[in-house]
Structures are given as structure tokens and as C-alpha cells.
Structure 1
Amino acid sequence: MDTHFLELMELASHLRAREVSSLDVTRAQLERIAALDGALCSYAHVTADMALAQARAADAEIAAGRYRGPLHGVPIAVKDLCWTEGIPTAGGMAIHAGHRPTEDATVVRRLKEGGAVLLGKLQLTEGAYSDHHASIAPPKNPWDAEAWPGMSSSGSGVATAAGLCHGALGSDTGGSIRFPCAANGVTGLKPTWGRVSRYGVMELAASLDHIGPIARSAADAGVMLQAIAGNDPKDPTARREPVPDYLEGASRGVQGLRIGIDEAWTDDVAPETRAMLVGAMEAFGALGADIVRVRFPDVTQAIADWFPLCAVEAAVAHEASYPARKSEYGPVLAQVLEDGRALSGTEYQKILLRRMRFRGLVDATFDALDLLLLPVHPLAPPTLATMRALGEQPDLVRRMLRYTCPFDMTGHPALTLPGGFTAGGMPLAFQLVGRAMDESTLIRAGVAFQGVTTWHRRHPELPASA
């Protein structure tokens, strides 16, 4: 059985029934990584020996009737900013190349407790900001090597899309779960801030960082979130609310849900992106949702404030090594840290006050809505050449972030879903944003949409070896 493109839930069913073994699936994944990832560069480190040992243990437990749940025996991977005990965790940074944590991040520990098999660590931009360190080979989009693979969680998006894992963890500070999902044609969930513990995850900007799953379907994302969410004594900022069963109501459909769209806010997206949004609205309407025209709060100031806020928090995160080891940093991250160190306390406080007000306005918007439908970004799938020019076009940077970073500022959850393809065969995606702590409704809507569409089941054509 060819298993590399199976959804996590499909593979879990086969594993539980012992129709396939975790060991065989894991070996096949490792062989595929060896054959393809030299060109795709999605992995920073492959943990082959550990993965095979975990797969053997999973098979033995399943055979003995000690089934742990849908992650049991499933090969996954995590972004290389999550601590892994005894395994290199560099965060895309040259200065951390030799860092081997003495414990797992909470999210990694919880995946292991669910019986997941860890294939390895996935590549990212330097410090999870926007650019790769010169010593790193950036991940390549499996649909087109000249296309942008997404922002800092690009390794997670590429590996999931290319069939090099059955799900991955990413992080989102300004859009870095949603961008790679859109670019690579996979599904991703940025949870509410605090829903998932950040203990043992290298910080970019603490109050903006969200850890979440990148997967092949909304149901898969729900299963992964189920495993990693919840209170954590090691992270006092983790929310204490009980974690619901995210798939319990997933089959209820969207009948009666109010899904809002602000047509004025989305009036200048690329034509193919607009057509994709119209198709998504029509699909949800046909499923029984109420499509509501809304006026969303102005995001201009929130986007402008995201940059200095991220810079200040990044400067705090790096104060042990910057500026002491400034020469070992790449120019983009170094400039961010300089900007953060230069911001005055007065300006910082003004940002915090504006942020609180904006969050309140967004919360109030959801009084009349269940979900908000948006593009991930306004462009057709951008090329690497386009993205390399971002530093020279500040307005383009703000346009790219206009639908993502506002919800890092507020902490609201967002689900990215494949929604179509361009005429040239590149993936298109949209996002649904929900109320704080209401990931269940997002997953429910995603499952309904993917029940009547097949965009998430399309995969890039890749050679048998590279």
C-alpha cells in the first residue's frame, strides 16, 4: 500500500486495524525523505533511528491492545524551534547549530504521549522571522521550485505537501502557519493564543507566537490540536479551559452558521484569489451557512504596530546573544533586533493600548458572526523573485500581512483551507477566522467544506528520486 499521501486519519484507521504496520510506513517515509528531500530541503534533521524504534514500539502496543489514539504509530515531524531531548534544535540559526536540549518541548512530549513517531525536525527561517540565514538551504515548493514556499514554517508546509510526513507542527507570529499552507496546498490551524503551550519552543515574539498543526485535512489538524492543546504548569500563559473533543461535532455541518465576508477589505485581491473566495462562499452557502456581509474594523494601525511590537519582543528573546554575537546573525533578523532595541517605552505602551482596543473591536465583530472568511494574502501565488524584492517594497510587505498579522495581534484562531488552483497549477487557499477559543467551529466548517471539495486531496507530482 502506498501510504505517503494518506491523510493522518486514514492512516490511523489502517494502523489500528493492523492492515499496515507503523514500522513499514515509517521506513517508507524515511526512504522517501532520502530520495526527495535533497532537492526539497524541508528537513533540518532526520531522526531515523529514533523513528524506527518508536514505530516498533507502536506496533507492539497496538498488537497488545494498548491503542493510544489516532496519532499512535503515525509518522510526523516538528518545526526545528521545538526542543527535542538530545536532538539538535537550531531554530534556523547558525549560533544554535550545536544546541541539543535536555528535554522535550511540551508539544513534542504530548505528541510522543499520543504515540506519534517523530521523523525529524523541519527547516525554518532564521529565528522564525522572514529570511533564511545564509548557511541554510531554504525549503523548495514541491509544486514549483521557483514559487514561494511560505514564511518561516515553510519546511513544515513543504514536507506535508510532498508526502514526507503525515502532519507537522508549525508556528505563526505574523502568518507563518497560514502562508506555507496556502503556498503548498495543505491545511493548517493557528489556534487561539494560549490554547497551546509554548514551553520549550524558541521565541520570536512571545505574545504573538502561536504553535499549531499543519496537516492534509481539517480533521487531521483537529486530531493534532487535540493532542497538543491544554493547560501546562510549565507555561503559565497556557489557557486553563478544558480541551474539547474537536472531532465530536465535526460532522454537524455548517447549517445556520453565520460566515462573514468584508468585500471592501478584500476588494483588491488578485482575480484568481477573488474567484477562489467566491467559490468558497458558494460552497458554504450550498451547505446551509448564512453568508453575511460585514464591515471589519480597520486593520491599518494594527498592521503598522505589528512590526515594532514583534521587534521589541524579538529583542528580548535574543538579548542573551544579541548584540554580543551580532556578526553571526543574518542582516534581516539583525535589523529587526536593532529596531526593537531602539523603540522607546512610551511608544511601546501606545502600541499595547492600541492593541487592546483593536482586540476588543474584533471580539465585538464576532457577536454577529460565527466565522470570518478571508484570503490568506491578496496576491496570486508569489514567486521567489517577488518575495526577494519585499525588502525594497514596504507597501507590499504590509499587503502580504494584511489578512494574517491582525489575528496574531488579537490572538484569534484561524484555519487555512486549500480552495483551488491557478491556471498555472499552483495552489490557492483561504482562511476562516473564529472566536477566541472556538477552534471547534473552525474544524467543523473545515470538515464540511472538505467533504464537498477535493482541493486538499491534490498533490504535487514529484519524481521517484531527486
Structure 2
Amino acid sequence: MSFKMEFCDLTEVGELIARRVVTSREVTEALLARIQRLDGRLRTYARVLDDRALRQAEAADREIREGVHRGPLHGVPIAVKDLCWTEGAATAGGTVIHGDFVPTHDATVVRKLTEAGAVLIGKTQLTEGAYSDYHPSIPPVCNPWNSAYWAGISSGGSAAATAAGLCFGAIASDTGGSIRWPCAANGVSGLKPTWGRVSRHGTFDLAPSLDHIGPIARSVVGVAAIFKAIAGHDVDDPTTSSRPVFDYMADTFADVRGKRIGIDRNWNGDDVDVGTKAALAEACAVFSDLGVEIVDVSFPDVRQIVLDWTPNCAVEAAIVHEAAYALHKEQYGPILSSVVEAGMAVSGMDYQRILLRRAAFRGQVEALLSSVDAVLTPIHPFAPLTLKTIATLGEQPELIAKLQRYTCPFNMSGHPTLAFPGGVSADGMPIGLQLIAAAFDESSLLALGAAFQGWTEWHRRRPDLDDGLAESHVAGAA
């Protein structure tokens, strides 16, 4: 691929393929070669689907030659998180217990990508069961910007592969921050849609009422292209909404003048890193220049809902793993095992109290969002995390609460959130920001995010992997 096509935006590559400037097979072969060269160190893929990808690329080229064009994803290599079932290809979900599982049909999101003409290039690696740590037998995903830094969980493979130019976009999932943390860590864009907007049929659950399936891409425009393909009602998933699917690509060209973004200056400023505060301030200035009104708001107190997320997730995970855990407990890693055990210990009374608080919080958030088009927050309140710091998380519950402070509340409420790069830390690592909108108003998020990226260059930065994987040059980084 010439002119660093691997770092082009998804829609740019799709247009080149549609115009027959380059073939899907040429693009796919080049990416497969790049994966072979780099992914032994990055470890972003659980498995690469070479044969399937090349067959799909040839089919896309044939259709395009015959005048059939399925849309912006046609012929474009896309990856999917390895909790999405793929017919005929092992799908492990980051676990040992599912290591030999070969689905007989595709997950709905995989089927929809195929119908949109995308090339499924591989299955990205994830933490065990999509929770907070890798199974001891699975090496963790490496951050392509700097190997001393965290790549995010649990969709680290999807985000790191996108950032490293090993795919043009990816499907991911988010139960407490698992799209947004990796997007922040790797400098890419991602959408956690409204709960029920994208089907979960054919995906391994962690906690069904908290799980969201969504897209990651280099830009918000690329995110919109994937989201348009995968959103909508699914008869195989009764929790999906029957609301109509909009032209989310068109939303990225919408005029944002007159829109209102809410800022809770106390919530965004209390115990927040200086670099993150600077990125927020710059984002507000950009949005103001775009004609967006910045409005002071008071966000509902999230402290209790952050505490409630852990037992809520644990109870649902215990239900999901009930049968397998009884038979194969010894095959579970220590973190996922502890979550299942914790979920089994929560009383019905305590769980019901969590559900009542969760319903009240959801209503409070929706009421606030009825007065603005979106709320802007950090993704986490501190500088990008090193692996050295992440290794101490189990000993620092207050650090875990800070990590979840801006993410898991919106899994508890189900509201859509858009992650996008908004700055660079003192160590040269990406800083991620987040917009939250009312339920099913992904259109506002995509319009605002795309407008921001039309005026900024953060999403165009890319890690330099030509001379090998970037290494830390920061002594004692923490």
C-alpha cells in the first residue's frame, strides 16, 4: 500500500476501492502482510482470518466491477472483537473454557458487516470474558504508541489494531468503559451506542444489561459508517429497539451551530490531571468556534452508581457463567473467577436496591440531557496509565473508582457516549474525551464529534511502527 494507506480513514479507503483506484484484494493482502510483520509484538489479534478475508475481498472486487456497490464499507477490512461469533472460526471470548468453540452461524453484527460488503480480516484479542484482566495463558495487548503504557480493556485489541493500521475499524463491546478506555489509550474514536440500539445476538455476554456493542475507527466519520451498518432491530435479540435507523453518515456533515454542550465544571475539574483539563478547555474553545453554546450544568452525583456497578456486573456475570463455572471452575483466571464468586454472594435485597438506584439515576441523566444536546467529560481523570500503575489497581480501590468515574455511569444508565482523541500528554500519549447524549440521540454525538475533528488533527496522529514497536523513554513513568 502506498502513501501509508493503512493509516487512511475507513471512508477514504472505501472510496478508493469503489473508484477502483485500488482493489479490495490489494488492500487486504497488504494489511495481512502488515499484521504478520507487527502483530507478533502487538498481540492485537486472537486469530487472523486470512482465507475468509481474501474470499470476501475478491467477492467485493467482483461486485464493484459489475456495478454493485454496497456502501462505504464495501471491500474495506474490518476486525471484530473475539466475543462475536463467526461461522466456522473459533470464538473464545478471551477465555479457555470457550477455546474450542466454533460457531455454526455469525453474530448479527458480523452478518450485518458482511451484508454491507466489509471484509472480516480477523478477531481481536480481549480480556477474559470481557472483564478486567487477561486469562493467565493469554499475553496482553500492547499499546502501539508506547509499550510501557496500558492499551485499555477489554476492547484493547480492537482499538490497538485500528491505531496501528492493522484494520480500518473494528467492532468492540463496552460494559463499564471497554470501548472508551481503549479509544483514549490508543488515540482512536469509538461509540458506545444506546443500550438496545445494536444487537447482542451471537456475542458472549459479560453482564447483559450493561453490555453495549459498538464501533471503533480512526475518525468519527468512520465510526458512523460502521454504526450505520450494524444498528437496528434484530428479531433474534428481543432487547433491541424498533426505532428507525438514521443516516448516520449524513449526521457527520450536519451543521452544529446552535447546539448546546453541557459542562459540569466541578465534576470535570475535581482531582483531574492538568493535561486532561487543558484538553477539555481546548475542546470547549473549538466547539465555541464552531458555534456551539457551552452551558454550565450540574451532573447527578455518580459516586453511588459507580460503587453499584461492580456488584451489578458481578451478579449478571455469575448468571452468565453459572453452568460453565460449575463444571470448569479450574479453567477460569483469578479475576473472572472472583467476579463470579462475588456475584453469587450478593443478596436479592441488595441487588434490588441497586436496580432501584440505577433506575433513578437513569431518569436523572435523561432529565439533564433534555436541556442540552450533549455533555462533555474526560474518559478518565488522570494522565494516560502506564502498565506499572495498572499493575497496582487491585491494591488501590480508589484508583479503580476514579478510572470508572466517567464511564460506567453510562452503562448503568444506557446512554450513548462518543469517545474521541482530544489532546496529547506530556509523555506524548493520547488523551481521550467523551460526549454523552440523550437515549437514541447518537446523531448529535456524531455531528458534534465530526465537526470537532474537522477543526482538529488529534485523530490524524499515528504511532511510528516502521522501525519496530515504540518503547518507553520515560524513566520511572507511572
The change in CA–CA distance for 1:372 and 1:174 in structure 2 (over 3 A counts) is: same
The CA RMSD measured in Å over matched residues stands at: 0.8
Match of 2:61 among 45, 59, 78: 59
Note if contact 1:374-1:403 (Cα within 8 Å) is conserved in structure 2.
Answer: yes
- Partner deviation per Cα, 1:402-429 (whole Å, 9 max, x = no partner): 0000000000000011111112211011
- Partner deviation per Cα, 1:145-167 (whole Å, 9 max, x = no partner): 01000010000010000000000
Q: Distance in 2 between matches of 1:375 and 1:253?
A: 24
Residue number in structure 2 paired with 1:319: 322
Counterpart check, 1:109 vs 2:108: no
Residue number in structure 2 paired with 1:416: 419
The change in CA–CA distance for 1:251 and 1:286 in structure 2 (over 3 A counts) is: same
TM-fit CA distance, 1:193: 0.2
Residue number in structure 2 paired with 1:170: 172
TM-fit CA distance, 1:389: 0.6
TM-fit CA distance, 1:284: 0.3
Residue number in structure 2 paired with 1:349: 352
- Partner deviation per Cα, 1:437-458 (whole Å, 9 max, x = no partner): 0001100001100000010001
- Partner deviation per Cα, 1:271-299 (whole Å, 9 max, x = no partner): 00100000000000111000011100000
| 1:78-97 pair list within 5 angstroms | 78-97=80-99
Residue number in structure 1 paired with 2:124: 122
Note if contact 2:376-2:433 (Cα within 8 Å) is conserved in structure 1.
Answer: yes
Residue number in structure 2 paired with 1:270: 273
Amino acid across the alignment from 2:396: Q
SS, match of residue 436 in structure 1: coil
- Over the matched positions of the two proteins, sequence identity in percent amounts to 58
| 1:387-402 pair list within 5 angstroms | 387-402=390-405
Q: Distance in 2 between matches of 1:353 and 1:172?
A: 22
Residue number in structure 2 paired with 1:453: 456
Residue number in structure 1 paired with 2:102: 100
SS, match of residue 327 in structure 1: helix
Amino acid across the alignment from 1:260: G
Q: Distance in 1 between matches of 2:425 and 2:69?
A: 42
Residue number in structure 1 paired with 2:73: 71
Match of 2:409 among 406, 412, 415: 406
Q: Distance in 2 between matches of 1:238 and 1:232?
A: 6
Counterpart check, 1:184 vs 2:189: no
Residue number in structure 2 paired with 1:285: 288
- Partner deviation per Cα, 1:72-102 (whole Å, 9 max, x = no partner): 0000100000000010100000111111011
TM-fit CA distance, 1:302: 0.6
SS, match of residue 155 in structure 1: helix
Note if contact 1:35-1:464 (Cα within 8 Å) is conserved in structure 2.
Answer: no
Note if contact 2:224-2:252 (Cα within 8 Å) is conserved in structure 1.
Answer: no
Amino acid across the alignment from 1:136: I
| 1:128-139 pair list within 5 angstroms | 128-139=130-141
Q: TM-score, normalised by structure 2?
A: 0.97
TM-fit CA distance, 1:266: 1.6
Q: Distance in 1 between matches of 2:131 and 2:142?
A: 17
Residue number in structure 2 paired with 1:150: 152
Q: Distance in 2 between matches of 1:289 and 1:370?
A: 10
Q: Distance in 2 between matches of 1:276 and 1:249?
A: 24
Q: Distance in 2 between matches of 1:138 and 1:463?
A: 22
Q: Distance in 1 between matches of 2:385 and 2:427?
A: 12
Amino acid across the alignment from 1:359: R
Note if contact 2:93-2:130 (Cα within 8 Å) is conserved in structure 1.
Answer: yes
Q: Distance in 1 between matches of 2:314 and 2:400?
A: 15
- Partner deviation per Cα, 1:101-127 (whole Å, 9 max, x = no partner): 110000000000000001110000000
Q: Distance in 2 between matches of 1:252 and 1:215?
A: 19
- Partner deviation per Cα, 1:313-372 (whole Å, 9 max, x = no partner): 000111121132111111111010001001111111111111100000001001211100
TM-fit CA distance, 1:464: 5.5
SS, match of residue 321 in structure 1: helix
Note if contact 1:35-1:465 (Cα within 8 Å) is conserved in structure 2.
Answer: no
Residue number in structure 2 paired with 1:302: 305
Q: Distance in 2 between matches of 1:451 and 1:381?
A: 24
Q: Distance in 1 between matches of 2:330 and 2:388?
A: 27
Amino acid across the alignment from 1:325: H
Unaligned runs of 5+ in 2: 470-478
Note if contact 2:192-2:416 (Cα within 8 Å) is conserved in structure 1.
Answer: yes
Amino acid across the alignment from 2:361: F
SS, match of residue 356 in structure 2: helix
Residue number in structure 2 paired with 1:30: 32
**How many residues end up aligned between the 2 structures?**
466
TM-fit CA distance, 1:254: 1.7
Residue number in structure 2 paired with 1:382: 385
Amino acid across the alignment from 1:459: R
- Partner deviation per Cα, 1:235-286 (whole Å, 9 max, x = no partner): 0000100100012232223211110111111221100010000000000011
Match of 1:429 among 432, 443, 460: 432
Q: Distance in 2 between matches of 1:49 and 1:30?
A: 10
Q: Distance in 1 between matches of 2:114 and 2:35?
A: 21
Q: Distance in 1 between matches of 2:466 and 2:142?
A: 14
Q: TM-score, normalised by structure 1?
A: 0.99
Please identify runs of 4+ aligned residues in structure 1 that moved more than 4 A: none
The change in CA–CA distance for 1:137 and 1:278 in structure 2 (over 3 A counts) is: same
Q: Distance in 1 between matches of 2:253 and 2:53?
A: 33
Q: Distance in 2 between matches of 1:66 and 1:325?
A: 48
Unaligned runs of 5+ in 1: none
Q: Distance in 1 between matches of 2:447 and 2:170?
A: 20
Residue number in structure 1 paired with 2:338: 335
SS, match of residue 246 in structure 2: coil
